[in-house]
Amino acid sequence: MIYADLAAEVVAALDAMTPLQREGVRRSLNAPNLTLPENAALWEAIAPATQDDDQTNDSPLEDVRAALEDLPPDSWRVLNNALFVLYRGNIFDEACEYLEGGGIRFGFDGLQGGRYKTFLDAVDAEAARIGRNISILDVGCWQGTLMCELLQRGYAVGGTDICEEVGPVIQERIQRLRSEHRLHLGFRAGWAHETLTHYQDGAFDVLTCQETLEHVPAAVLQATCDEMMRVAKHSIIVEVPFEDGWPLHLRVYTLDDLFALFHSEQYNIEVIMPPGIGVYTTIKVVRE
């Protein structure tokens, strides 16, 4: 089994969890793509460890989320690595097509109903405001889908993510971009509030953060946002859900929540996509 070491790490993490936490993991992994042999083998190895004879999948969502908030950092890392493997090949994999002449075509609109286009348009508008030759850091980049699309648009882009397993996939995708490879500013694995400390104040013109903050435990959430504001020279573009039922989305956000997280005398907040359109909200945090 290719992922034997990862399976052993996941099982060890599950063994140390409470029944409610294991329920949260079981409910979070309810749509893995098992048509890929490596996925099926990993799931077969870890599925029994998610079970509890006296536990169902009926606990209140808020109770499950609160229990998952208490997972230690290493358990979060292992769980995210497993999620990456198990969700390959389905809709969450952000399907892409490698083009013969170089480059990658992503199925943003077909998969996400135009939400990615709204986000990308916001990045382009911000680049036009501050100058086209901008640098971007994608916080919570997962397997580099947004990074690669931004690279193809001519931006210099780096990324961070808690999931270590995505590193080789990001590198493979960027290699496919050929000339755009020169614009790649690197990838760091780890918690955002820790990886961002490696960068100087205002190190990047723009930070992007799409579908990430809902996964960040409360204990490090404000530190993450503070570090993002420190590293962003001009602005931060953030997308978060305002309604959702997935346990690993530890919270949903109102605009008041977002304003509180990014409250600073140095920044103003602009609403790009308000609550009520789809299930996500997009804002831009702009340094004055």
Gyration radius of the chain over CA positions: 19
Range picked from 3-17, 53-67, 87-101, 269-283 for highest mean pLDDT: 3-17
Least confident of 113-127, 146-160, 221-235: 113-127
**How confident is the model at residue 99, as a pLDDT?**
77
Give the single-character DSSP code of 242.
Answer: S
Q: pLDDT confidence of 269, banded at 50, 70, 90? A: very high
**How confident is the model at residue 110, as a pLDDT?**
45
What span, in angstroms and rounded, lies between the C-alpha atoms of 159 and 166?
A: 11
**How confident is the model at residue 31, as a pLDDT?**
62
Please provide the average confidence, as pLDDT, over all residues in the chain.
Answer: 87
Residue 133 region, left (φ>0) first, then alpha (ψ -120 to 50), else beta? beta
**How confident is the model at residue 94, as a pLDDT?**
56
Least confident of 144-148, 232-236, 263-267, 275-279: 275-279
Nearest to 207 by CA among 215, 218, 195, 216: 195
- Find the DSSP H helices in the chain: 4-15, 19-28, 37-46, 61-69, 73-86, 108-112, 115-130, 145-152, 166-176, 192-195, 218-231, 255-261
Nearest to 239 by CA among 268, 280, 269: 280
Least confident of 26-30, 193-197, 215-219: 26-30
In Å, how far are 58, 103, 243, 253, 281 from 275, measured between CA atoms? 28, 34, 9, 9, 5
Strand partners, 137: 158, 207
**How confident is the model at residue 108, as a pLDDT?**
57
Handedness of CA 33, 34, 35, 39 (dihedral sign): positive
Least confident of 21-35, 130-144, 175-189: 21-35
What span, in angstroms and rounded, lies between the C-alpha atoms of 245 and 270?
A: 26
Average pLDDT over residues 157-163: 95
**How confident is the model at residue 111, as a pLDDT?**
44
Handedness of CA 65, 67, 71, 77 (dihedral sign): negative
Strand, coil or helix: what is 200?
A: coil
pLDDT exceeds 70 at position 262: yes
**Tens digit of pLDDT for each residue in 106-144?**
765 544 457 788 899 999 999 999 987 899 999 999 888
| Confidence (pTM) | 0.91
Domains annotated for the chain, with CATH where assigned, are 4-93 (no CATH), 97-287 (3.40.50.150)
Least confident of 41-45, 214-218, 253-257: 41-45
Nearest to 76 by CA among 261, 253, 248, 252: 248
**Tens digit of pLDDT for each residue in 68-117?**
999 998 899 898 888 888 877 655 555 667 777 777 777 655 444 577 88
